[in-house]
C-alpha cells in the first residue's frame, strides 16, 4: 500500500520510515498500517537496506489507532493490515531503531518493544490505554513488558493505562536513552549510521540470538493476544468505550460485570 501518510526514504543503507499525519496526531489508519507493513517487508527483501529508522513528527510519534477508522475497519484476520504490521515488526530480522517525540500511545508504545534501539525526546509521553478502551494488550506486550520490568510494574502500566514520561520509560527499559528534543533526529540518525556501518550479517545474527530464547513463546503470545483482542472488539465494554471516545464523554462500565 502506498500513502503519503507513511513516508519512506532510503539513504546510505538506512530506510527511514516516517509517520506523517501530524494534523491527526499521527493516528494510524488501516491504509497506514498496510504501508508500514510494506515498508518493513521491503527492508527484509532488499539487501541494500541495513537498518530501519522509525519516526513520527517533531511533536508526535503516533497517538495510536484512528478510532473512527478502527471502528469502521476493524481487523478481522491475519491478513488485515494492522496484523500484517504487527507480524512484520515482530519478525523483523534487520535492526530497528526508533526516534520518539511527543505522544506514543497504544501501539505507539508496544511497537517499541520490538525495536533494538529506542531513543526518546525529553518531551515524549507514553501510554497503553488498552484496558481503558475495553480491549487487551497486543504485539506480545503481555509477555515482553513483565520481562522488562516485572509483573507489578507492567500491571500498573497496562491495568491503569496512565501516561508516563520518557524518563520513566527509560527507567523501565522501554527506552534506550532520553535525548533533548532539539537534537533527537540528528542523534538517532547518527546511531543508525553507526549501526549500518557494522558487519550486516553479524548484526542480524546477534539480533536473532538476543531474541532466540523467547522467539517461539513470543509468537504464541502474540497470536493469542490477537484472538483475545478480536473478541474484545465485539464486547459491550469495548463498544461503550469506543463510542464514549467518539462522543467525548466518560465511559460508563458499571453496567457490565
Provide the number of structural domains found in the chain: 1
d(CA 27, CA 35): 14
**Of the ranges 6-20, 34-48, 74-88, 186-200, which one carries the lowest mean pLDDT score?**
74-88
CA 163/CA 105 separation, integer angstroms = 8
Per-residue pLDDT at 237 exceeds 90: yes
> What was the pLDDT predicted at 149?
97
What residue numbers bound the domain in which 6 lies?
A: 1-180+199-257
pLDDT-derived band of residue 230, with 50, 70 and 90 as boundaries?
confident
**pLDDT given for residue 2 in this prediction:** 52
Residue 191 lies in a domain: no
pLDDT of residue 71: 79
Residue 186 in domain? no
Residue 194 lies in a domain: no
Q: How many CA atoms lie within 13 A of 20 on its CB side?
A: 12
Q: Give the mean pLDDT of 235-243.
A: 92
CA distance 232 to 230: 5
The CATH number linked to 80 is 3.90.226.10
List, for residues 62-92, the tens digit of each pLDDT value: 999 998 888 788 777 778 899 899 999 999 9
Share of the chain above pLDDT 90, in %: 82
Residue written as grid cell 493505562:
161
Flag whether pLDDT at 22 surpasses 90.
yes
> Which residues lie below 8 Å from residue 157, measured CB to CB, with a gap of 6+?
128, 145, 164, 172
Instruction: Note the pLDDT tens digit of each residue in 93-109.
Output: 999 999 999 999 999 99
* Residues 8, 17 contacting (CB under 8 angstroms): yes
Is pLDDT above 70 for 40? yes
- List, in order, residues 6 or more apart from 130 with CB less than 8 Å away: 106, 136, 137, 138, 158, 161
Q: Does 236 have pLDDT greater than 70? A: yes
Q: Is residue 185 part of a domain?
A: no
- In-domain check, residue 188: no
Mean pLDDT of the chain: 94
**Residue 1, pLDDT above cutoff 60:** no
Amino acid at each position: 500500500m502506498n500513502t503519503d501518510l507513511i513516508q519512506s526514504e532510503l539513504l546510505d543503507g538506512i530506510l527511514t520510515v516516517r509517520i506523517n499525519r501530524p494534523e491527526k496526531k499521527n493516528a494510524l489508519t488501516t491504509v497506514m498500517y498496510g504501508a508500514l507493513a510494506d515498508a518493513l517487508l521491503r527492508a527484509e527483501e532488499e539487501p541494500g537496506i541495513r537498518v530501519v529508522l522509525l519516526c513520527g513528527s517533531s511533536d508526535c510519534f503516533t497517538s495510536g489507532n484512528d478510532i473512527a477508522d478502527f471502528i469502521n475497519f476493524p481487523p478481522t484476520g491475519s491478513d488485515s493490515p494492522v496484523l500484517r504490521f504487527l507480524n512484520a515488526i515482530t519478525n523483523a530480522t534487520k535492526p530497528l531503531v526508533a526516534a520518539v517525540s511527543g505522544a506514543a500511545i497504544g501501539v505507539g508504545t508496544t511497537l517499541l518493544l520490538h525495536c533494538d534501539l529506542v531513543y526518546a525526546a525529553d518531551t515524549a509521553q507514553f501510554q497503553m490505554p488498552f484496558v481503558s478502551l475495553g480491549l487487551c494488550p497486543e504485539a506480545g506486550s503481555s509477555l515482553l513488558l513483565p520481562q522488562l520490568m516485572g509483573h507489578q510494574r507492567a500491571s500498573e502500566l497496562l491495568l491503569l493505562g496512565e501516561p508516563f514520561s520518557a524518563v520513566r520509560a527509560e527507567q523501565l527499559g522501554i527506552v534506550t536513552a532520553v535525548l533533548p528534543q532539539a537534537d533527537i533526529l540528528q542523534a538517532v540518525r547518527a546511531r543508525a549510521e553507526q549501526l549500518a556501518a557494522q558487519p550486516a550479517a553479524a548484526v542480524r545474527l546477534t539480533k536473532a540470538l538476543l531474541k532466540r530464547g523467547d522467539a517461539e513463546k513470543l509468537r504464541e503470545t502474540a497470536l493469542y493476544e490477537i484472538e483475545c483482542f478480536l473478541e474484545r472488539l465485539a464486547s459491550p465494554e469495548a463498544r461503550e468505550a469506543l463510542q464514549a471516545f467518539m462522543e467525548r464523554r466518560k465511559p460508563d462500565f458499571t453496567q457490565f460485570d
